[in-house]
Amino acid sequence: MLTLKSISKTFNPGTVNEKKALDRVSLELADGDFATIVGSNGAGKSTLFNAITGAFYVDEGRVILGGEDITYVKEHVRSKVIGHLFQDPLKGTAPHMTIEENMALAYLRASTAAHAYFSRINGREKQRFREQLALLDMGLEDRMKQPVGLLSGGQRQALTLLMATMVTPKILLLDEHTAALDPATAQKVLALTQRIVAERKITCLMVTHNMHQALELGNRTLMMDGGRIVLDIQGDDRKIMTVDDLLQKFKDQAGRQLDVDRILLS
Amino acid sequence: MSSIFTLSILQSALELGCIYALVALALFISFSILNIADLSTDGCFTLGCAVGAIVTMAGHPFLAFPAAMAAGVCSGFVTAFLQTRMGVPSILAGIIVNTGLYTVNIAVMGFSSNVNLFGCDTMFSLAKDVSDAAWYGSWHKIVIVAAIVLIIGVILSWFLNTRLGLSIRATGDNEYMVRASSINPVFTVTVGLCVANSLTALSGAILAQYQKSCDINLGQGMVTIALASLIIGETLIGKGVILGSCLYRFIVAVALRMSVPAECLKLVSALIVAFAISFPYLKGKASFYRARRMPAGIGGEDGEDAC
């Protein structure tokens, strides 16, 4: 589904702040792959996501999504088929618009016809939004006319997830989307993520600092360091791997300890 | 005191209030929704007034309105183009366009600084002939402008709930969300500013016919006045932008009646805007000082001591 062919990105080239954020990264994700990504701060995880979403164009290499070369496709065009969740739950929804309006926006983004500019949400679609909200089990279906700014962080992140997957994306990018939530809510949002991804067989990349999550969720674990993917574990290797093995592997590859200030080992 | 609130004051306040309400609606789009302070409003208002006056003078009182709106769209497009495609900061883009419009406006008026419409058919003079009823003679202007504002208001509220309208609202509300959804901010900002400026110009054209003249300095301070209406409408009466505009006109009319010289009005509206915008901030400050002055143990419960 997603193919990255040796992509590189250097920020502030030719200055003292020059930073090689991505260094010839290649990656092949099959349809329905769910890969977790771990790595220390500044390893290039978020930069990798931004290269895929088109927040910047890569210096070299190709980005291919669903067989289509999107290396130089504009960000807002790509995002029709890419779902992106941020760590900050406030980033995914418009606070002064109602739940219903936010969902309408997410729903309408799929329609590409010119006349769709003036299309509105009808009663049947409202009913569908209601049913989907009910699945969250957060009581949001009775608050559809309320502005999203009144919701809690967890509720907003769950809503963002619903919006990002309302029209099934070709790839879903999760950038530590549960890290800013309290443990109970994080668990709930994570369970919801797993269910939606599994039901619709969405290809998915997820950054996490939780080493257990990195090994338990999905079917692949990638480890990044210094702008490169240093480790790609899947299949039987992954099934028998423990957190200690993972840390040891990182040490072997990167030649140093994984910095642990934000890493969760439990 | 009763002599201050005469019927004719109320009447002219309502008429002017409805006309200027269109500018307040325009700023509602650019300032409240898109979060852009569009400083080209002054020039755009005069542009609408000038185009409206010239087209009316040519004998097309109704064509004057779409013509003025088209001129407003062009002005809005230039402002949007400067800030979305040329990297000009939005406030500067408005100032640049405003400066340029001065020359454009003078040119539209045939290089004279004012134009008179006496003796020309206007929408108001034509509408007056429709009925001979006594009440209609004195109230027909209000009926017309109120109808126009109402229609524009309905269209606008419909528009803001379409896909395009929702995208424009999201653009000003959350830039991260806009980047992650398939909204093109260049496009939504451009459409938003075009719509806003077309309303500003329409307001100018109606005013030209209402007062049967157009002056090059007519639009000066329009941004401030419209912001005053917008903020009065939003803070005092919930969401009523139109009511806010009427209320502002009423305050102005009463002030004039109480022999405040007309030259001081701009200063008065500047003070109103400055006060209205800083009001929420000052309110927060005041409650902070109140809490601080309270003896410990009463006010400190939920304050900074919480950590």
Q: Which of A122-126, B44-48, B231-235 has the lowest mean pLDDT?
A: B231-235
Inter-chain touch B182–A109, beta carbons under 8 Å: yes
Mean pLDDT of B166-174: 92
Inter-chain touch B182–A79, beta carbons under 8 Å: yes
Stronger pLDDT, A112 or A118, i.e. the higher one: A118
Q: Is pLDDT at B234 greater than 80 in this prediction?
A: no
Query: A32 Cβ partners below 8 Å, 6+ apart?
Result: A1, A201, A202, A203
In angstroms, rounded to a whole number, what is the distance separating the alpha carbons of residues A70 and A72? 6
A25 C-beta neighbours (distance < 10 Å), count: 23
Cβ(A82)–Cβ(A70) under 8 Å?
no
* A120, part of any domain: no
Stronger pLDDT, A111 or B85, i.e. the higher one: B85
Q: Is pLDDT at B134 greater than 80 in this prediction?
A: no
Mean pLDDT value across chain B: 86
Inter-chain touch A86–B174, beta carbons under 8 Å: no
Inter-chain touch A79–B162, beta carbons under 8 Å: no
B164 shares contact with chain A (CB less than 8 Å) = yes
* A77, part of any domain: yes
In angstroms, rounded to a whole number, what is the distance separating the alpha carbons of residues A183 and B7? 65
Stronger pLDDT, B68 or A188, i.e. the higher one: B68
Taken in order A142, A148, A153, A157, is the CA torsion positive or negative? positive
* A233, part of any domain: yes
By Cβ distance, the residue of B161, B163, B182 closest to A76 is: B182
Q: What are phi and psi of A143, to 5 degrees?
A: -120, 25
Which of B35, B158, B163 to probe by mutation at the A interface, max A CB count within 10 Å?
A: B163
Q: Which residues in chain B have their CB less than 8 angstroms from residue A103's CB? A: none
Inter-chain touch B183–A109, beta carbons under 8 Å: yes
Inter-chain touch A120–B161, beta carbons under 8 Å: yes
Q: Which residues in chain B have their CB less than 8 angstroms from residue A109's CB? A: 181-183
Give tens-digit pLDDT for A20-62.
Answer: 899 999 999 999 999 999 888 888 899 999 999 999 999 999 9
Query: Kind and range of the H or E element at B90?
Result: helix B90-108
* A261, part of any domain: no
Q: Which residues in chain B have their CB less than 8 angstroms from residue A173's CB? A: none
Q: Looking at chain A, which residue has its C-alpha nearest residue B164?
A: A117
Q: Which residues in chain A have their CB less than 8 angstroms from residue B185's CB? A: 76
Q: How many domains does chain A have?
A: 1
B50 C-beta neighbours (distance < 10 Å), count: 31
* A139, part of any domain: no
pLDDT at A236: 85
Q: Which residues in chain B have their CB less than 8 angstroms from residue A96's CB? A: 169, 173
- By percentage, how much of chain A surpasses pLDDT 70? 93
* A117, part of any domain: no
Buried b (16+ CB within 10 A) or exposed e, B152-179: beeebeeebebbbbbbbbbbbbbeebbb
In angstroms, rounded to a whole number, what is the distance separating the alpha carbons of residues A162 and A66? 22
Query: Kind and range of the H or E element at B244?
Result: helix B241-257
Mean pLDDT of B291-307: 56
CATH code for the domain in which residue A76 is found: 3.40.50.300
Inter-chain touch B162–A109, beta carbons under 8 Å: no
Q: In angstroms, what separates the C-alpha of A21 from chain B's closest C-alpha?
A: 21
Q: Looking at chain A, which residue has its C-alpha nearest residue B179?
A: A76
Inter-chain touch B181–A75, beta carbons under 8 Å: no
Q: Is pLDDT at A64 greater than 90 in this prediction?
A: yes
Structure token pair of residue A221: 């674990």
Residue A9 Cα distances to A13, A20, A51, B137, B189, angstroms: 10, 6, 8, 72, 30
Q: Is pLDDT at B307 greater than 50 in this prediction?
A: no
pLDDT at A112: 57
* A226, part of any domain: yes
Segments forming the whole domain that contains residue A191? 2-94+170-254
Inter-chain touch B177–A94, beta carbons under 8 Å: yes
Stronger pLDDT, B88 or A235, i.e. the higher one: B88
Give tens-digit pLDDT for A124-143.
Answer: 888 989 998 998 888 898 99
Cβ(A23)–Cβ(A228) under 8 Å?
yes
* A176, part of any domain: yes
Local structure of residue B304 (DSSP, 8 states): G
pLDDT at B26: 94
- CA proximity to A218, closest of A264, A182, A174: A174
Inter-chain touch A97–B182, beta carbons under 8 Å: no
Cβ(A227)–Cβ(A40) under 8 Å?
no
Residue A250 Cα distances to A150, A236, A254, B79, B214, angstroms: 42, 18, 6, 53, 76
In angstroms, rounded to a whole number, what is the distance separating the alpha carbons of residues A10 and A58? 9
B170 shares contact with chain A (CB less than 8 Å) = yes
Q: Looking at chain B, which residue has its C-alpha nearest residue A147?
A: B173
Inter-chain touch A101–B166, beta carbons under 8 Å: yes
Give tens-digit pLDDT for B258-287.
Answer: 777 777 877 877 887 788 778 878 888 888
B185 shares contact with chain A (CB less than 8 Å) = yes
Q: Which residues in chain A have their CB less than 8 angstroms from residue B168's CB? A: none
Stronger pLDDT, B255 or B158, i.e. the higher one: B158
Q: Which residues in chain B have their CB less than 8 angstroms from residue A117's CB? A: 162-164
